[in-house]
């Protein structure tokens, strides 16, 4: 039987239960409930009485407030994601999969800050001092005056920091290793994570120090994930990337001092993380000549335009239910495009397996990619390669109509800068540009016209697939 003073806390979502269960009722995670001590009641069973509070001053919206000063790390991709630099006294969570490069990013940022004369402290709870030193040496940062400690005890960390004049930046790597002896729970549990974060955030606010918290994304629910502390910090950045690729993306998902949706692009090399100033060039870098099934999407990531290649493969299916495999895009959005192509354009892909991949391992979240996806699908089906120097963007409605999307001008400019000659955009978007667009526009009024445009490039000759039994490929009514 459970002790009266313990509760069971899901390490994945933080829900509590009075009894252990194999599966969390709230989030459905398996084997994620861990016994923790319940919060201690107030001494003597007293409850705070209502109506005894202090009178607070109510003020208007208008008033002179100082603009927060920014602490620039010198890593421009990081500073931009933060909204122009780190804000003193703020708490920033940097989440990401284990091994993605969080510690590397933190160490590089701290070292650059130290070289600029800032006092910075690196508390490593995962790696020993020697390991961090070795890494610093490999990155050529040993000379930077970063103060280093390998420590996980929260009280010891706070005492150490409390004695000295406050540093400008403290990094705690990772916050999941930090534990407080006053809390009766194992390190890495929800109670410990919350208590550690709360204490460090309080330290940041009271001392005007920027606190960087590293948090590992966990899937198994054995240690509590960074999602649980997102609400406690001022800014949340996720470090993403594909292990198979070298580039990494720092994405702001919450920021009280700057815009969200902003991304920073890095490349992981032998010498650590390098900034990528021209991400479109990186994602389109290994693009060869025009091939059927590929289309270049002119997308936006935050305030920055980003060109990526959408690759599709449509092949006759031998399965009862054809396969739809999507990497880097939304599967239900693909289903919608397939349905619109079928219903409004007579392009039926019911008998085909459909594979969709966003080149370079990037994840696209914009509906603006609809047009590029539709064109790539038809291009693959027909074996008709789109012109290599064309980009596409626009949203497809369920009616088959094409809708303009925001920030068309920035997308066009980026495409022109990278040497593209034609942009395929929804017709309605044309009237939005006051000035002459920097490249030739093709503006189909609906999806059916787009299909006809793709069809005009005809099947490529000498395609390898023609060696096999040729499937009937026709488009009715287009
Ligand atoms: P790390 O920063 O330790 O990841 P995290 O803190 O998110 O767990 O980075 C680990 C990976 O980065 C590791 O697989 C090796 C790679 N790496 C490089 O490729 N080059 C480098 O210069 C460094 C320091 C790491
Ligand atoms: Mg690490």
pLDDT tens for 188-219 read 888 999 999 999 999 999 999 999 999 988 76
Q: Are strands 402-403 and 395-396 parallel, antiparallel or unpaired?
A: antiparallel
The DSSP line for 385-428 is PPPTTEEE--EEPTTSBEE--TTHHHHHHHHHHTT--EEE--HH
Q: Does ligand 1 have an atom closer than 6 angstroms to the CB of 165?
A: no
In this predicted structure, what is the pLDDT of residue 199? Answer: 95
- Distance of alpha carbon 180 from alpha carbon 167, whole angstroms: 22
Reported as type and span, the H/E element at residue 309 is strand 304-316
Tell how far the Cα of 459 is from the centroid of ligand 1, in angstroms: 45
Tell how far the Cα of 25 is from the centroid of ligand 1, in angstroms: 36
In this predicted structure, what is the pLDDT of residue 349? Answer: 93
Tell how far the Cα of 28 is from the centroid of ligand 1, in angstroms: 32
* 3 state DSSP class of 334: helix
Tell how far the Cα of 40 is from the centroid of ligand 2, in angstroms: 33
Q: Does ligand 1 have an atom closer than 6 angstroms to the CB of 163?
A: no
- What residues in the chain have per-residue pLDDT under 70? 1-4, 39-51, 219-223, 285-286, 288, 434, 460-478
Instruction: Name the token pair of 313.
Output: 């493969």
- Distance of alpha carbon 200 from alpha carbon 160, whole angstroms: 13
Q: What is the pLDDT of residues 170-194, one digit of tens each?
A: 999 989 999 999 998 888 888 999 9
Among residues 366, 364, 388, 385, the alpha carbon closest in space to that of 375 is found at: 385
In this predicted structure, what is the pLDDT of residue 76? Answer: 92
In this predicted structure, what is the pLDDT of residue 40? Answer: 56
In this predicted structure, what is the pLDDT of residue 12? Answer: 80
Sign of CA dihedral 230, 266, 405, 335: negative
In this predicted structure, what is the pLDDT of residue 475? Answer: 60
Q: Does ligand 1 have an atom closer than 6 angstroms to the CB of 100?
A: yes
Q: Does ligand 1 have an atom closer than 6 angstroms to the CB of 268?
A: yes
The rounded radius of gyration (Å) of the Cα atoms in the chain is: 27
């Amino acid at each position: 039987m459970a002790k009266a003073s313990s509760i069971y806390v899901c390490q994945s979502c933080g829900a509590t239960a009075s009894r252990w269960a194999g599966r969390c009722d709230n989030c459905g995670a398996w084997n994620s409930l861990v016994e923790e001590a319940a919060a201690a009641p107030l001494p003597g069973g007293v409850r705070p009485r209502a109506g005894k509070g202090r009178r607070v001053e109510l003020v208007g919206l208008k008033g002179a407030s100082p603009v927060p000063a920014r602490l620039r790390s010198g890593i421009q991709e990081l500073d931009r994601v933060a909204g122009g630099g780190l804000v003193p006294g703020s708490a920033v969570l940097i989440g990401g999969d284990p091994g993605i490069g969080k510690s590397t990013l933190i160490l590089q940022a701290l070292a650059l800050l130290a070289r600029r004369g800032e006092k910075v402290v690196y508390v490593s709870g995962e790696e020993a001092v020697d390991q961090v030193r070795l890494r610093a040496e490999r990155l050529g940062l040993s000379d930077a005056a970063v103060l280093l400690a390998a420590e996980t005890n929260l009280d010891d960390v706070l005492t150490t920091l409390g004695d000295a004049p406050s540093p400008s930046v403290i990094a705690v790597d990772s916050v999941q290793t930090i534990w407080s002896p006053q809390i009766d729970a194992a390190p890495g549990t929800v109670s410990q994570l919350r208590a550690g974060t709360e204490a460090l955030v309080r330290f940041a606010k009271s001392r005007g120090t920027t606190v960087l918290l590293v948090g590992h994304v966990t899937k198994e629910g054995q240690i509590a994930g960074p999602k649980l502390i997102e609400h406690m910090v001022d800014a949340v950045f996720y470090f993403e990337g594909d292990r198979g690729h070298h580039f990494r993306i720092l994405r702001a998902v919450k920021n009280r001092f700057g815009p969200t949706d902003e991304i920073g692009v890095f490349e992981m090399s032998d010498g650590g993380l390098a900034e990528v100033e021209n991400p479109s060039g990186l994602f389109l870098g290994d693009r060869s000549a025009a091939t059927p099934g590929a289309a270049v999407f002119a997308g936006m990531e935050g305030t920055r335009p980003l060109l990526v290649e959408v690759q599709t493969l449509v092949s006759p299916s031998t399965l009862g239910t054809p396969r739809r495999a999507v990497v880097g895009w939304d599967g239900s959005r693909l289903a919608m495009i397939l349905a619109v192509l079928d219903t409004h354009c007579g392009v039926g892909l019911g008998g085909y397996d459909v594979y969709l991949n966003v080149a370079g391992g990037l994840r696209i979240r914009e509906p603006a990619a609809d047009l590029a996806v539709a064109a790539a699908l038809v291009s693959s089906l027909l074996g008709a390669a789109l012109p290599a120097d064309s980009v596409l963007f626009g949203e497809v409605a369920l009616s088959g109509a094409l809708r303009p999307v925001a920030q068309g001008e920035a997308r066009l400019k980026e495409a022109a800068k990278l040497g593209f000659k034609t942009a395929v955009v929804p017709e309605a978007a044309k009237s939005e540009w006051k000035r002459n667009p920097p490249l030739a526009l093709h503006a189909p009024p609906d999806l059916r016209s787009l299909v006809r445009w793709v069809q005009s490039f005809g099947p490529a000759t000498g395609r390898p697939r023609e060696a096999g039994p040729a499937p009937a490929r026709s488009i009715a009514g287009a």
